[in-house]
């Protein structure tokens, strides 16, 4: 089996095992896994599940992708229609396109050691717009570890004043590849970022239930933008898929346009993984899951550390997705 396990899996597994409560466990350890498009987080997550489920660990592990928590197709269309001016919401992916109530209910049930039904979203239906499938995957206790993976897991909303500062200091050009760049200010309006920031507040209740965190971080060895690796990796994914299915898929320009919509999320909100939110508990929107503990601070404008600080591990990956370092945070 070791030949099939990516090199990042053993150190991540060791990190998770080090924080696993002793048996018998009343509830699973909830682990957040964040990484950009094309970084291999889905493959890593499934490999991690297989590794922890096998001897000698033999744990019960379930996986939930944030992609399976998308709103049903009709509601996704409604979000897009009601947000015509915000190009970031013209399609699934960004905060505001997920079912907050369903996601919260699933995570709460798992955390409390109860049975849960994990939704499944089929991305290929409705001509690629996708839809939630009927039913879902039923998981029953005992569960030892639950892995929640997604591109913006742990990203945090900002107080208005900090968002204003970040907008003023944001890079104007985002490198896609050599000689090709996204003009960020021409692509997105400040009002769009404010809208996403407001919607991101609703996800804080999810993050507050996470115990341990794993982050995949691009770390190029040459002087290029880490953002350019996201474009490179996502293009490679599309090319590999088209090579296997007879050429069905997006053009290179379409892939770049697809990634463009996610870039503002990284620019403005990714620091939340390690720095938390600058919103006060009074000014944020939350369903108060987990009692509202651990992620916010009553002092307006002061960042409060996420509850996983001291229990986080960052895997640094190079241009070819090779592991170039592992560090804890």
What the chain holds in terms of domains, given with CATH numbers, is 31-281+293-328 (3.40.50.300)
Q: What is the distance between the alpha carbons of residues 1 and 11, in angstroms, rounded to a whole number?
A: 16
> What pLDDT does 280 receive?
59
Q: What is the pLDDT of residues 150-191, one digit of tens each?
A: 999 999 999 999 999 999 999 999 999 989 999 999 999 999
Q: What is the pLDDT of residues 18-74, one digit of tens each?
A: 999 998 888 999 999 999 999 999 999 999 999 999 999 999 999 999 999 999 999
Q: What is the distance between the alpha carbons of residues 139 and 36, in angstroms, rounded to a whole number?
A: 27
Note whether 156 and 277 are within 8 A (CB): yes
Q: What is the pLDDT of residues 70-91, one digit of tens each?
A: 999 999 999 999 999 999 999 9
Q: Phi/psi of residue 49, each to 5°?
A: -60, -45
> What pLDDT does 291 receive?
39
Q: pTM of the predicted model, to two decimals?
A: 0.91
Q: What average pLDDT does this structure show over 293-302?
A: 45
How far CA 271 is from CA of 103, 238, 276, in Å, comes to 23, 28, 7
Q: Is 47 left (phi over 0), alpha (psi -120 to 50) or beta?
A: alpha
Q: What are the DSSP E strand ranges found in 135-248?
A: 137-139, 145-150, 173-177, 180-183, 212-218
Q: What is the distance between the alpha carbons of residues 122 and 132, in angstroms, rounded to a whole number?
A: 6
């Amino acid at each position: 089996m070791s030949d099939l396990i990516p090199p990042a899996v053993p150190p991540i597994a060791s990190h998770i095992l080090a924080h696993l409560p002793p048996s018998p466990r009343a509830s699973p350890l909830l682990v957040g896994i964040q990484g950009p498009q094309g970084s291999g987080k889905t493959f890593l997550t499934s490999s991690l599940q297989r590794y922890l489920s096998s001897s000698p660990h033999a744990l019960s592990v379930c996986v939930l992708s944030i992609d399976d928590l998308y709103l049903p197709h009709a509601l996704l269309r409604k979000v897009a229609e009601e947000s015509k001016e915000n190009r970031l919401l013209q399609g699934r992916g960004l905060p505001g396109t997920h079912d907050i109530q369903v996601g919260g209910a699933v995570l709460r049930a798992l955390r409390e050691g109860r049975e849960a039904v994990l939704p499944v979203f089929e991305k290929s239906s409705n001509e690629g717009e996708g839809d939630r499938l009927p039913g879902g995957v039923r998981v029953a206790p005992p569960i030892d570890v639950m892995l929640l993976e997604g591109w913006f897991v742990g990203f945090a909303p900002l107080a208005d004043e900090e968002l204003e500062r970040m907008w003023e200091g944001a890079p104007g050009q985002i490198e896609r590849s050599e000689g090709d760049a996204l003009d960020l200010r021409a692509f997105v309006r400040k009002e769009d970022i404010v809208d996403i920031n407001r919607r991101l507040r609703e996800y804080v209740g999810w993050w507050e239930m996470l115990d341990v965190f794993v982050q995949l971080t691009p770390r190029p060895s040459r002087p290029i933008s880490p953002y350019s690796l996201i474009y490179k990796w996502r293009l490679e994914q599309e090319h590999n898929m088209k090579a296997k299915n007879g050429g069905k898929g997006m053009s290179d320009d379409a892939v770049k346009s697809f990634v463009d919509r996610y870039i503002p999320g990284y620019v403005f909100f990714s620091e939340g993984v390690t720095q938390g939110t600058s919103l006060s508990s009074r000014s944020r929107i939350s369903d108060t899951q987990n009692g509202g503990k651990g992620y916010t601070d009553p002092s307006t404008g002061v960042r409060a550390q996420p509850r996983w600080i001291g229990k986080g591990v960052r895997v640094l990956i190079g241009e070819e997705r090779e592991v170039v370092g592992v560090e804890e945070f």
